[in-house]
Amino acid sequence: MNPSLVLLGALMLCGTLGEGAAADWLALYLVDEAQMSQGLAAAGFTCFTVMMLIGRALGTNVVERLGRVRTIRAAGVVIVAGVSLLLLASNAPLAVMGAVVWGLGISLVFPTAVSAAGEVGDRPESAIAYVSTVGYGGFLLGPPLVGFIAEGIGLANALWLIAAWGSGIVLLAGSARGSRESVTTLNHA
C-alpha cells in the first residue's frame, strides 16, 4: 500500500473519530458535566452540526485560498481550541461556543481528505474508497472508544482524546498534499 495513502487514512481517522464522538457524547457532556438542561444541550449539539454545515458549505473557498495542507492544519488547531474551550468552560454559553468552534474545525477534515485521496497513486477510485472506508470506521469506532475510556476516567477526561486527535490532524496535514496542491500553491504564491 502507498505510504502516502496510509498517512492520509490516519489523518481521516483522527477527524472521524472526533466527529463520531461528538454525535454520541457532546449532548451528554453538556447535560452531565456542563449542567445544561436537556433542551439546551440538544441546542448545543445542533449548533455544532450547523457549524459543520456552514464550514462544509464555505470550505471550498477556504481550501482554494489556503490550500489543503494549511486548511487541514488550521482545522486541527481549531478542533483543539474548540474542545479545550468546551472542556474548560466555566459556564454553559462558553461550553456551547467550544462546541461551535469544534464543529467548524472538524467540518473540513473528511471532505478535504477525500479530495486529497483522489490524487494519490494511479487509481484514484481505490484511494478514495480506502480513505472513505477508514473514515467511516472512525465514525463507528469513536463513540464506543470514548465511552469505554470514560468508564474508567470520566467523560470530561475521555473527551480530551478529541483534542489529541485534533493534534494528530495538525501533524498529519502534510499527507493531504497532492499533485494539484503543489500547482495551486505555486499559482497563488
Within a 13 Å sphere around the CA of 113, how many CA atoms are in the beta-carbon half?
35
* Confidence (pLDDT) at 136: 94
Structural domain total, the chain? 1
* Confidence (pLDDT) at 80: 98
* Confidence (pLDDT) at 1: 77
State the CB neighbour count (10 A cutoff) for residue 110.
21
* Confidence (pLDDT) at 167: 97
> C-alpha cell of 44?
448545543
Of 72, 66, 96, residue with least CA distance to 167: 72
Q: Summarize the confidence of residues 51-55 as an average pLDDT.
A: 96
pTM above 0.85, yes or no: yes
Q: How does residue 185 score in pLDDT terms, banded at 50, 70 and 90?
A: very low
Q: DSSP letter string over 99-126?
A: HHHHHHHHTTHHHHHHHHHTTSSS-HHH
The pLDDT of residue 187 is above 50: no
Residue pLDDT, tens place only, 104-147: 999 999 999 999 999 988 899 999 999 999 999 999 999 999 99
Q: How does residue 2 score in pLDDT terms, banded at 50, 70 and 90?
A: confident
Query: Is 34 strand, coil or helix?
Result: coil
> C-alpha cell of 75?
482545522
Rounded to whole angstroms, how far apart are CA atoms 154 and 158?
6
CA of residue 18 relative to chain centroid, distance? 6
The pLDDT of residue 20 is above 50: yes
The pLDDT of residue 184 is above 50: no
* Confidence (pLDDT) at 121: 81
Give the 3-state DSSP-derived string for 135-150, with helices as H, strands as E and coil as C.
HHHHHHHHHHHHHHHH
Instruction: Please report where in the chains the cell 464555505 appears, as a residue.
Output: 58
Residue pLDDT, tens place only, 29-47: 999 999 999 999 999 999 9
Domain of residue 180, residue span = 3-188
CATH number, domain with residue 56? 1.20.1250.20
